[in-house]
Amino acid sequence: MRVAVLGATGKVGRLIVEQAVERGHEVVALVRSPQAYAPPGQGAVEVRQADVTKPESFPGLGDVDVVISALGISTGDEPGTLLSGAKMLAGLPVRTLALGALGSGTSAGAGGGMYQAIMKMVIGRQLPEKAAADTIALNGGATVFHAPDLQVGGISPGRRNIPLEKYPKPFWPPRVSRATAAALMLDEAERPTHGATILVPVGNAR
């Protein structure tokens, strides 16, 4: 399978690229500054310059089977980056998976009261844009992953994706390792089980 990864320089994006290569896939890393990106040593990773805020120069992706977006808001980014990315991907004739955040938009409150309070305190200003970007992505047919608090750690052997409507609201703030979230996005890319919906990646068999 040929996988394009948007946001390949980010903490989750890097793991998606690495794991995709380890699984034997061809990878196209979409990054703003190719000269500053060092792809994994093993396997072939094609690097293409891609800036979602400059749609006129965004590369064609007609040669890939799926696009996985781990696009986030980096320090110094202007407001609207996530919206630009969602609009760009929604217009592509290719299956798309996108990383979002539990507690934004449709999943507000799904992580429990303590978790939602933390979300508002830490990234409250970003929540409206995240919600709007999710709406665009879902309307474009993407599968959106609302990940809880992302942590350092390995891939959970009990990992699974839970549809948002079936996700049991926890009392304690939920978390999942970045490696597990990356693995679950690749699992869905390899074996599609859901269409335009929101999934919550979890690292245990709850």
pLDDT at residue 43 in the model? 64
Nearest by Cα to 165 from 198, 201, 140, 203: 198
Give the pLDDT band of residue 42 (cuts 50, 70, 90).
Answer: low
Query: DSSP assignment of 134-184, as one string?
Result: HHHHHHTT-EEEEE-EEES----TT-EEEEGGGPPPPSSPPEEEHHHHHHH
Write down the pLDDT at residue 40.
84
- Domains and their CATH numbers in the chain: 2-202 (3.40.50.720)
pTM of the model: 0.95
pLDDT in tens, 2-12: 999 999 999 99
Mean pLDDT score of the chain? 94
Of the two residues 33 and 206, the one the predictor is more confident about is: 33
The dihedral sign for the CA sequence 71, 22, 24, 46: positive
pLDDT of residue 76: 64
Do the strands 2-6 and 26-31 form a parallel or antiparallel pair, or are they unpaired?
Answer: parallel
Residue 152: other Cβ atoms inside 10 A: 8
Per-residue model confidence as pLDDT tens digits over 137-195: 999 999 999 999 999 999 999 999 999 999 999 999 999 999 999 999 999 999 999 99
Residue 68, C-beta contacts closer than 8 angstroms, at least 6 positions apart: 3, 4, 5, 6, 16, 96, 97, 98, 99, 185, 186, 189
Cα four-point dihedral sign 126, 128, 129, 130:
positive
Buried/exposed code over 47-74 (b: 16+ C-beta within 10 A; e: otherwise): beebbbeeeeebeebeebebbbbbbbbe
Sequential DSSP letters for 28-49:
EEEES-GGG----SSS-EEEEE
Q: What is the pLDDT of residue 4?
A: 98
Please name which of 36, 14, 35 lies closest in space to residue 27, comparing C-alpha atoms: 14
Asked if residue 158 lies in contact with residue 132, where contact means CB atoms within 8 angstroms, the answer is no
Report which residue type is found at 152: V
Region 78-105 average pLDDT: 93
Contact 100, 146 (CB under 8 A): yes
For the segment 93-148, what is each residue's pLDDT rounded down to a tens digit?
Answer: 999 999 999 999 999 999 999 999 999 999 999 999 999 999 999 999 999 999 99
Is 80 exceeded by the pLDDT of residue 206? no
